[in-house]
Amino acid sequence: MTETITVTVGLTESQPAPVNFSFLGQTFFVEAWNAVGQPVFDFIQPFTLTIRYADADVFGIDENTLRLYYWDINDEKWLEVIPFVLDTQSNTLIVWPDHLTTFGMMGEDRYWLYLPYAVNLPSPGERLSRAFPRR
C-alpha cells in the first residue's frame, strides 16, 4: 500500500561540525506528513536525495571528503549517511537515507602551509647594494 506524503525541506541551526570538519552551507531538515497530517519519520525503503554544489562552496574543504551526515539525537553526534555517490566532476552528492531528521553536508578542512620567505636585509647603516650585489 502506498500513500501520499507531503515533504518540507528547510534550513536550520544545529550542532557544530566535528573538529577539523566544516559544513558546506547550512544544515537543513526534511520533514514529511501523511494525508491526515501525521508526521512520517521512517520509510520502508530508502529515498534518493541529490545535493548539488558549486566549486566556490568547497573553498577550504577537501572536496573528496564531502559526505552527508545526520544528527543522531540519541548518541548526540553526527553520523554519515551511507551509501553515497560523490561525483566531484559534476559537483553532486547522492545519498539514500531511510529516515528524516536534521542533515548537514560537510567535509574535512583543507589547510595550506605557507612557508616563510626569508630575505637577508642589510644591517643598519649598510647600503642595500652591498646586501644584494648586482650581477
Tell me the whole-structure pTM to 2 decimals: 0.76
Q: How many helices (H) and strands (E) does the chain have?
A: 1, 10
Classified by CATH at the fold level, domain 5-131 comes out as: Chondroitinase Ac; Chain A, domain 3 (2.60.220)
DSSP state of 73: T
Q: Which three cell numbers stand for residue 74?
A: 540519541
**Residue-wise pLDDT tens digits, 41-77:** 888 888 899 999 999 999 999 999 999 999 999 999 9
**Residue-wise pLDDT tens digits, 94-115:** 999 989 999 999 999 987 666 6
How many residues in the chain?
Answer: 135
Q: Which amino acid is at 91?
A: N
